[in-house]
């Protein structure tokens, strides 16, 4: 059992996440800071509170951020809707994470896999967005091997979203038809309704362009 230190942070309005398929890793791009400090930064940006679900300090302690089942604010609307955000405190453009941080990260990931009873994919922030995060000195291949064995990165066979569903969700989020991704296990009629809704919207837009 891992020890997550409760922080008692007070949040504005949060929405429950319906579907969880991956974990996104970040660095704080700052000195060693607490979840409470980041909470303050994110409140100043007008957010509901810290956007990450966990913060791993340089001594390896894991601090609670946003409640794990709520939608985070760490990697853009689409990714936030299906992921958990973990932030390692430090600036890994200048130095790497401590060995205690790496150990805690690996323990936290396996704890979350158990909690969600699924093989959650693990991504760096820069894998899903145009960013340097979690920094050039973040030892991804080492962590990758610790998580997946010597064969390395295996983001298959977990709680995956088929490509056509992924594409549909991306378009529907973009058009604001939905506010968070569908669970890939939603019944077929729900996917059908989404596809039809998008089609109608696209027809309407086409007509608008012609007139
Ligand atoms: Zn990031």
The secondary structure of 81-138 as a DSSP string is: TTEEEEEESS-TTTSPPPHHHHHHHHHHHHHHHHHTTS--EEEEHHHHSSS-TT-TTS
Low-confidence ranges of the chain (pLDDT < 70): 1, 151-160, 211
**Can you give the pLDDT at residue 66?**
98
Q: Decide: helix, strand or coil at residue 123.
A: strand
Dist. CA 22 → ligand 1 center (Å): 14
User: What is the rounded CA–CA span in Å between residue 133 and residue 154?
Assistant: 21
Q: From the CA of 25, how far away is ligand 1's center (Å)?
A: 7
Which residues, including other chains, have CB under 8 Å from residue 107's CB and lie 6 or more apart? 2
Dihedral sign, Cα of residue 174, residue 168, residue 193, residue 185: negative
Q: How far is the CA of 127 from the centre of ligand 1 (A)?
A: 10
What pLDDT was estimated at residue 98? 97
Helix (H) or strand (E) holding 62: strand 62-64
**What's the pLDDT at 156?**
47
pLDDT score for 189: 82
How far, in Å, is the centroid of ligand 1 from the Cα of 75?
7
Where do we find the tokens 């800071």?
33
Which pLDDT does position 157 carry in this prediction? 45
pTM over 0.95: no
Confidence (pLDDT) at 132: 97
Task: Give me ligand 1 centre to Cα 132, in Å.
Answer: 8
CA 128 to ligand 1 centroid distance, Å: 10
DSSP conformation class of 4: E
Q: What is the pLDDT of residue 211?
A: 63
pLDDT at 154: 54
User: What local confidence, expressed as pLDDT, does residue 86 receive?
Assistant: 98
């Amino acid at each position: 059992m891992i020890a997550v230190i409760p922080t008692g942070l007070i949040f504005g309005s949060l929405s429950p996440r319906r579907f969880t398929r991956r974990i996104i890793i970040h660095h704080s791009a700052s000195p060693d800071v607490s979840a409470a400090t980041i909470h303050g930064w994110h409140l100043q940006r007008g957010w509901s509170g810290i956007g990450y679900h966990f913060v791993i300090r340089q001594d390896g302690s894991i601090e609670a951020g946003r409640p794990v089942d709520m939608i985070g604010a760490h990697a853009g609307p689409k990714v936030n809707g299906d992921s958990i955000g973990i932030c390692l405190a430090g600036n890994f453009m200048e130095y790497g994470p401590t060995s205690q941080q790496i150990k805690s990260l690996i323990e936290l990931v396996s704890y979350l896999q158990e909690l969600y009873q699924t093989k959650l994919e693990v991504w760096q922030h820069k894998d899903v967005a145009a960013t340097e995060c979690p920094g050039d000195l973040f030892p991804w291949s080492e962590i990758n091997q610790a998580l997946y064995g010597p064969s390395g990165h295996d983001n298959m066979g977990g709680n995956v979203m088929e490509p056509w569903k992924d594409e549909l969700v991306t378009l529907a989020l973009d058009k604001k038809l939905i506010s968070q991704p569908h669970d890939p296990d939603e019944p077929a009629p729900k996917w059908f309704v989404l596809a039809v809704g998008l089609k109608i919207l696209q027809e309407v837009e086409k007509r608008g362009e012609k007139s």
